[in-house]
Amino acid sequence: MSNSYGKLFRITTFGESHGAAVGVTIDGCPAGLEITTEEIQYALDRRRPGQSDITTPRKEEDKVTILSGVFEGKTTGTPIALVVNNKDQHSHDYSHVEHAFRPSHADYTYTAKYGLRDFRGGGRSSARETVARVAAGALAAKLLQHYGITVQSYVSQVGTIKLRKHYSKLDLSQIDSNKVRCPDGKIAARMIGVVEEARDSLDTIGGVVSCVVKGVPAGLGEPVFDKLHAELGKAMLSINAVKGFEYGSGFEGVKMRGSEHNDQFYTDEEGNIRTRTNNSGGIQGGISNGQDIYFNVAFKPVATILQPQTTINDAGEEITLQGKGRHDPCVLPRAVPIVDAMAALVLADFLLRQKVNKL
């Protein structure tokens, strides 16, 4: 079941980078959810290649087709199938890596596991697979919206350039106002400069995407193995190039004492239970407590660089390899909608699971 995710709101993705298409089936989406092709397309347009000069120049329109499960603008409760055709494959760009193990790619591990691999753009290990996740995530986000839950991700760090403002001090409506998807214009300009420098030197750069989820009710998550933060971590770490996940105070919390870190409860004027601080990141005991959920996702530099590197081939011989083709100098701008999608999928699944937990 390695190509499926979720228990009640369950997705299964399919397709390869240079295959005919990529797509997803969604099972468990409640009937009656209003959804349009345009809403799904909007999410895909934020992820698609060729958006700007700091993303891959591969030209894919990523036009989605709804094959089943939606009738007259509403979900029917039956499996939903979405497909996006691949149109701009340059498979010949990868002929030089047919027998090579590219540094920090999945070439060797896929060969070790399966005894063969699709070398065209990495096949199933390519980030092209995330098209399917983003398409499914659009439906999950629409379901969350119905319950007043919003998911917003943004780039908070590129290389050493870091946005240090707390998310509550940012205007998150400005996330898409620049090509790096950082809601602070001045910091965004510096980030873009770092990406352009990496691109011009035939190199790549990594960074951090931050995510904020608002409107989550208390009670989502499971107490032991399916803790909400554990599932969010699993979902984020399943995204290509992700190397780290932290929620709430994260690693900075180790510098604090319990008296500083504890989130003290109080009852607000409307009778709601709140906490005065939110070092817990909206999750305690693996279950949401009604506060904002926030977390950071670390992305490594894109592994394909256009500089010569030493590696070996599948015969164990040392070779020199230089990347070719069209690649992102920084994955972060296009990773933002992927983080959005995976967070929405996790929360949609837990939302449905909670509805069967109590009368």
Q: Which residues are annotated as a binding site for NADP(+)?
A: 47
The amino acid at residue 352 is L
Determine the distance from the C-alpha atom of residue 220 to the mean position of all C-alpha atoms in its chain, rounded to a whole number.
20
> According to the model, what pLDDT value does residue 56 have?
76
Alpha-carbon distances of 251 from 243, 293, 295, 299, rounded to whole Å: 14, 16, 11, 16
> According to the model, what pLDDT value does residue 16 have?
86
Q: Which residues are annotated as a binding site?
A: 47, 124-126, 240-241, 285, 300-304, 326
Q: Tell me the pTM.
A: 0.94
Separation between Cα atoms, residue 196 and residue 165, nearest integer Å: 24
> According to the model, what pLDDT value does residue 58 have?
66
> According to the model, what pLDDT value does residue 51 have?
78
Q: Are strands 10-15 and 21-27 parallel, antiparallel or unpaired?
A: antiparallel
Phi/psi for 248 (5° steps) reads 60, -140
The tens-digit pLDDT sequence of the chain (359 residues) is 589 999 999 999 999 888 889 999 999 999 999 999 999 999 999 998 877 888 877 677 899 999 999 999 999 999 999 999 988 655 555 667 788 888 888 888 888 888 888 887 677 888 899 999 999 999 999 999 999 999 999 999 999 999 999 999 999 999 999 999 999 999 999 999 999 999 999 999 999 999 999 999 999 999 999 999 999 999 999 999 999 999 999 999 999 999 999 999 999 999 999 999 999 999 999 999 999 999 999 999 999 888 999 998 988 889 998 877 667 899 999 999 999 999 999 999 999 999 887 65
Residue 316, both tokens:
């164990």
Q: Which residues are annotated as a binding site for FMN?
A: 124-126, 240-241, 285, 300-304, 326
Determine the distance from the C-alpha atom of residue 93 to the mean position of all C-alpha atoms in its chain, rounded to a whole number.
26
Separation between Cα atoms, residue 174 and residue 15, nearest integer Å: 33
> According to the model, what pLDDT value does residue 19 have?
84
- Least Cα distance to 90 among 116, 56, 63, 124 occurs for 56
> According to the model, what pLDDT value does residue 54 have?
85
- Least Cα distance to 252 among 295, 312, 206 occurs for 295
